[in-house]
Structure 1
Amino acid sequence: MDTGGDCSGGGGLEEEAARREREWEEVAEAVAYDSCTWPPPVVAVCGPGNSGKSAFCRLLLNTLIARYRKVGYLDIDVGQPEFTPPGFVSLHVLEEQAKDLTILYLRNPKRCFFFGDVCAKRNPKLLLTYIFDLYDYFLKEFYCFREVDNPEKSAIPLVINTSGWVKGTGFYVLTEMLKYVSPTHVIRVSTTVEHKNLPGGTFWMNQYDADPPINLVEIGAAHNSPPSKHSLLVKKEAKITRDLRLMAYFRQCLPRDFNISCFDDLIRGFVSIHPFQLRLSKIHVIDLHRQVSGTDAHRFLSGTIIGMATSASPPLSIECSTPCCIGLGFIKAVHISEDCIHLITPVSHKLMEKVNIIFQSCIAVPSCLLQVILNTLLLQLFRKIN
C-alpha cells in the first residue's frame, strides 16, 4: 500500500498551518508594537464566517494586553460572540491573557445590549444603534488622553470582532460600523474562495471621500479551503456552538460541585432548579423584532429565552432608549391566572427583585432546556395520577 502521497500531503498541511501561525503572530505584533501607534490602536477584524476571525482576535488581545495591560473588546457578532451567549452586543475590558486560545470563555461585560437574534436581518438599525452606543461609551470611559501618565486613566486599545455575514444586510452593518468608528487598523481575513471575501481596499468609504489614515492588513484564513462542500456542516457547527454557550450560561444556576457526566445529568440538574418567580403584572414585555402587543406577548413567553433589564438602569443615550441587559432567563411557565412567570436564571436574586423589563428573543432554545419543560409536565401529571 503506497502512503507516500498521504504523508506528503500531511506535511504540506502542517507547513501551511505553521506559516499561517507565524503570519498571524507577526501581524499582531506589528499592531501592538508599531512605534507610531499612538493613540492606542482601534482594530476591526473582519472577514467571512469560519475564517478564523475570533481566533485571530484572541491572539491579538493577548498581544495587546502584554503591552497595554488593559484592552477593550467590542463584540458585534450576535451569532457567534466570543465571551457571551448568542444574541448580545457587548463591551469587555480584559486585563488577563487567555492561557489557552482554543477554550471558549464566558465573561461578564462592562456593558451589553440584548439583540435577541443571531443575525442582523430582522433589525439592522437597532443593531447599529447598540454598536454605536457601546463604542461611544468606550470612547468616554476608556479612550481618554487627559491623564497619559496615570495607567488607570490612560487610553487603552480596542479590538472589534465582527460578524462573518459579509453579504447583504451583514455587509451593510459592517460598512456602517466602519464609517462610524473609523478604526486605525482593519484586519481583512480572506479565503482562497474570492467570491466569499470582502472587497479590497477601503470598501466602506464613498468614492469621493478622502482616504483616511488607516492601516489595511490582509491575512489568510485559518482553514484556507473551499467551504462550499461543507456549508451545511459549518451551519450545524455554528448552532452547536450557540447551544454550548447557552448551556454553559445556564449551568451557572447549578452548584459548582454538581456532577455532570452525561446529557441526562444536565437535564436532571435543570429540572431540579427552583424557579424564580416574577409578577407578571409588573413586567413590561418588549419584542425587539416582531412588535407583538404587550397583552399578547405574555402568551408567547413559555419555553423561550429572554433578556432581562430594569427601568432603574438608564439607557446609554438619547438615541438608544433600550436599557442595558443584566442577564438571560429561560421561562419554564407563565401562569396568567396566578400573575406569575416561572424562570431559571443565574442572575442574583437581589438583581432579579428589580427586574421589570423582559426582552423576547428569536434565539433557538437548546433541547436540554426544552426537555426541562417536558419533564416538569410529566412529573406534574404523575403526581396527579397518584
Structure 2
Amino acid sequence: NVMTSGSSPTEFPKTQTLQTSAQAQVLSLINGIINLVHAVWIKVILSHPDLFPLQTLCFRGKCLLSCLYGRVEVHGFTLEEGQQSYPLFSPSSHCPLTVTALGDSPNPSKTKKAGRLEAKAIVRKYLSAETCKRLLSEVDSDSCVILLEPLDTPLTRFLNSFPDLKELFGLSSVEELDGCPVILVCGAKNVGKSTFNRHLINTLLNHTASVEYLECDLGQTEFTPSGCLSLSTVREPLLGPPFTHQCAPEHMIFYGQSSCETDLDRYLESLKSLWRLYNRETPIVINTMGWVKGFGFQLLVDIIRLFSISHVVQLSSGDKVMCPQLTPEFLRSSHGWQTHPPVQSALGEDNSGTHPAQRSYTLFSIHSEFEGAGRPGEMRHQRSNEQRDLALLGYFSQLQSPEPGPVRPLHCFTPYQVPHSAVAVGVTHCEVAPTHVLYTANASLVGLCCLNEKVSGRGSPVLLSQTPVCPCVGFGVLRGVDMARGLYFLVTPVAPSVLRQVNCLLLGAVTLPNTLLTGQTGILGEPPYVTMDYSFELTGAGKLHVFKGLARPGQMKNAK
C-alpha cells in the first residue's frame, strides 16, 4: 500500500528552466515526480482539508471504498467513518470518479488531540511500520483516511470474460499516457546522467515498491555488461557504481557493441521491443546515450516521440552548447532517424500519416556548476573502457562461491557442453567469412540468446546470416570448440534452468578484459588464448567494419 498526503498532483508548467544550484534543481525535480507517483498509485490516502481544502482523488478502475476516518464525498454522496463499505466503478466508458475530502469533522465534540491519536492508530493498523514512520507526522485530526480494496463481482468477472471488454476497468491507451511518470534523462557525455539516475531511483524507492529502468546507453550500462539494451525492475537501492550491482534484468537484448552508429535501425527496433514489455504500472527511468549530435540527436528525438515521455531531464555543463533545449515546441519541428515532424497542408491540417502523435511533456533543464563536469575522469579506472571492463568482471564474479575462500580463475570452472546442432552462432558487429566464424568466437564473450524459431542442424555448426533482435538471458565465455565431437564449451554464471532456453550465441565487439585472461593463476606455461606473436599490419588482420546507417539526404540536412 502506498500512502500520501492529500496534496493534489503537482501542476508542472510546460517547461521549467531552473537556474539555481544543481542540487536544488535535482531535489525540486524529484519532489515533483514523487507527487505524481503518489497521485497515481494510492491504496490509502490522507487528506488535510484545512491546509488543502477539498482535495480529491480521481481514479480509474473498480474498488471497495471504506472511510476509516473523517468524511469524503463521492458523486454527491457523503461517506463517514463507521459506515459500510461501498463498491466504486469507474470504467473507461465514462468519466472517472472522484473522491473528495470534506473539511468539517463528523464528530465536533472530539478534541483535536483525540482525533489525531485516533487517525494515527488507524494508519498503524493498515500500513507497515516503515511506511507509518515516514507519514505519521502528516496525520492530523482534520485528515481523512480512506481504504481502497480490490473488488471482484459477478458483473466484473462476466464482463472480463469477453476479450473486447478486458480493459473496460483499466486504462485506455490515451489515459495510459497520463499514468505513471516516464522520465527520460539525457545530456552529453560526462555530465552526470548515471549519478542522477541512481539518485532519482533511490529517492523514488522511498515512496514506491519498485522502479522500472530502460537502458538505452550501450557503452555505460547500469545493470549489465556493455553492449546490451535492457529493461530492469529495481527494488533495492543502488548504493554503488554499476559493476557492484550487476544482475539479470527482466528483459534484455544483445546488441554487441558499445555504440550503435553502425546499425541505427537495429538499435531502435531493439528498444521498441523492450518498450512493448513495459507494463506501465510503475514509474520508469530511461537512460540515454551521451551521443547528442548528428545521428545521436535524431535517435534521441525518436525515443522521446516513440516512448510517451512525460518528463525530460536535460543535463548540461560548461559554456559550449552540445544539444539544443528539447522543449516540446522545438521537438515538433525536429527530424528523427525514423520519425519526422507532421506535415501541415495548405489548410493547416495534420497529414502526419503513420508517424506517432507527439505527447506534450515537462522539460527540466539542469546546468551543472560542478567544476570538471563534462570532462572525462583523469584518475585510474575512470575511463569508459575501464568502466566497461569492471562491469564484465562484476558480472563474472557471480561464478565465485558466496562462501569465503580462495578466488577461482576462469579456467577452473567446468564448462557446459553444447552440441553444435543445438544453437546458432552469429557475429553482430562485422562481416566474417562463414569458415572463420568459429575461429572468431573461440575464447570470446558471447550473448546467450533465445530465437523464436527452433534451431536444428545436422551435426554441423548452424551459422546466422543476419543479426536477429531477440531476448538475451546472460553472457558466457566460449572456452573452446571441439569440431571432432561437435561441441561448444561454455562457461557462464547463468543457471542451468535458464540455459535450456538458449538456442543462439551472438558474438559482438565487446571483448573480455585482458586481466581476465592474463591474470589467471595456477597455469603451467603460457596462459591459453594469450599471444604476443600477432601483427595488425598484415592485410586482413583487422576487423572489416560495415556501416549500415548511411544517411538519407533529407536527414543529413536536418541533422543537428
- TM-score tier, shorter chain, comes to 0.7 to 0.9
1:28 paired residue number: 30
CA distance in structure 2 between the partners assigned to 1:357 and 1:380 by the alignment: 25
* Structure 2 letter corresponding to 1:194: K
2:526 match: 378
Pick aligned residue for 1:246 from 383, 388, 392: 392
Aligned to 2:277: 137
Structure 1: state its 5+ residue gaps.
1-17, 144-154, 315-319, 382-386
The counterpart of 1:304, out of the listed 440, 444, 447, is: 444
Instruction: State whether residues 28 and 60 of structure 1, in contact with CA within 8 Å, keep that contact through their aligned partners in structure 2.
Output: yes
| 2:9 corresponding residue in structure 1 | none
Contact 1:47 1:198 in 2 (8 A): no
C-alpha separation in 2, matches of 1:368 and 1:103: 16
CA distance in 2, matches of 1:301, 1:122: 20
CA distance in 2, matches of 1:125, 1:102: 27
Partner of 1:179: 305
Q: Give the superposition deviation at 1:86.
A: 0.8
Change in Cα spacing, 1:19 to 1:206, as seen in structure 2 (3 Å) is: closer
SS of 2:363's partner is strand
* CA spacing shift, 1:372–1:300, aligned 2, 3 Å: farther
Among candidates 262, 279, 303, match of residue 122 of structure 1: 262
Q: Is the 2:226–2:257 Cα contact (8 Å) retained in structure 1? A: yes
Contact kept, 8 Å, 1:282 with 1:356, in 2: the verdict is yes
**Alignment equivalent of 1:62, drawn from 202, 216, 219:** 202
1:283-322 pair list within 5 angstroms: 283-292=423-432, 294-311=434-451, 322=469
Match of 2:475 in 1: 328
Q: Equivalent pairs: percent with the same residue?
A: 25
Check the 8 A contact 1:193/1:226 in 2, yes or no: no
TM-score normalized with structure 1 length: 0.77
The letter for the 2-side match of 1:206 is S
Counterpart contact for 2:21–2:369, Cα < 8 Å:
no
* Alpha-carbon distance between aligned partners in 1 of 2:218 and 2:318, rounded to the nearest angstrom: 26
| In 2: Cα distance, 1:327 partner to 1:219 partner | 36
Distance 1:47 1:175, change over 3 A: same
Q: Deviations over 1:133-187 (max 9, x none)?
A: 111111xxx22xxxxxxxxxxx211110111121233222222111111301000
Deviation at 1:259, TM superposition (A): 4.3
State the partner residue of 2:128.
none
RMSD: 3.2
Distance 1:346 1:218, change over 3 A: same
Task: Determine whether 1:255 maps to 2:417.
Answer: no
Q: Which residue of 2 aligns with 1:281?
A: 421
- Give the 3 Å change call, closer, same or farther, for CA 184–69 of structure 1 in structure 2: same
| Matched-pair contact (CA < 8 Å) for 1:305–1:363 | yes
| Residue identity opposite 1:29 in structure 2 | N
Q: Residue 206 of structure 1 aligns with which residue? A: 333
SS in 2 for 1:195: coil
How far off its partner does 1:79 sit?
Answer: 0.6
Counterpart code for 2:470:
P
Range moving further from structure 2, 102-111 or 269-278: 102-111
Contact 1:188 1:217 in 2 (8 A): yes
Conserved in 2, the CA contact under 8 Å of 1:25 and 1:59?
A: no
Task: Please tell me the residue identity of whatever aligns with 2:188.
Answer: P
Among 500, 507, 513, the residue aligned to 1:360: 507
Question: Gaps (5+ residues) in structure 2?
Answer: 1-19, 41-177, 335-340, 343-356, 455-466, 530-560
Tell me the distance in 1 between the aligned counterparts of 2:390 and 2:273: 28
CA-CA distance at 1:100 after TM superposition = 5.5
Cα offset, 1:231, TM superposition: 7.8
- Specify the alignment match of 1:105 in structure 2: 245
1:275 Cα deviation from its structure 2 partner: 2.0
Q: Tell me the TM-score normalized by structure 2.
A: 0.54
The structure 2 residue matched to 1:49, chosen from 186, 189, 192, is: 189
Task: Name the CA shift for 1:125/1:75 in 2 (closer, same or farther; >3 Å).
Answer: same
Aligned to 2:319: 193
Q: Indicate the structure (1 or 2) with the bigger Cα radius of gyration.
A: 2
For residues 524 and 388 of structure 2, the distance between their equivalents in structure 1, rounded to whole angstroms, comes to 24
Shift of 1:42: 0.5
Worse-matched range after superposition: 370-379 or 291-300: 370-379
Change (3 A) 1:206 1:75: same
1:224 CA drift (Å): 4.6
Shift of 1:50: 1.1
Letter in 1 for 2:308: S
1:339 aligns with 486
Query: What's the CA shift for 1:313?
Result: 8.3
C-alpha displacement at 1:235, in angstroms? 10
Where relative contact order (Cα < 8 A, 6+ residues apart) is larger, the structure is 1
**Once structures 1 and 2 are overlaid, which stretch shifts more, 282-291 or 114-123?**
282-291
* 1:78 counterpart residue number: 218
Seen in structure 2, the aligned counterparts of structure 1 residues 125 and 211 have a Cα distance that, compared at 3 Å, is closer
Contact 1:186 1:215 in 2 (8 A): yes
CA contact (8 A) 2:188 2:316 kept: yes
For residues 101 and 302 of structure 1, do their structure 2 counterparts lie closer, same or farther at Cα, with a shift above 3 Å needed?
Answer: closer
More deviation, 350-359/43-52: 350-359
Q: Are the equivalent residues in 2 in contact too, given 1:190–1:198 (CA < 8 A)? A: no
Could you say what secondary structure the match of 1:24 adopts? helix
Distance 1:244 1:258 in 2: 21
**Equivalent residue in structure 2 for 1:219, among 366, 370, 375:** 366
**Alignment partner of 1:194: what SS?**
coil
Are the structure 2 counterparts of residues 299 and 222 from structure 1 closer, same or farther at C-alpha, using a change threshold of 3 Å?
farther
In structure 1, what is the Cα distance between the partners aligned to 2:321 and 2:528? 55
Partners of 1:175 and 1:376 in 2: how far apart? 55
**Partner-residue secondary structure (3-state), 1:40:** coil
Query: CA 1:259–1:31 in structure 2 vs 1: closer, same or farther (change >3 Å)?
Result: same
Which SS does the other structure have where 2:475 is aligned? strand
In structure 2, C-alpha distance between the alignment counterparts of 1:322 and 1:102, rounded to whole Å: 25
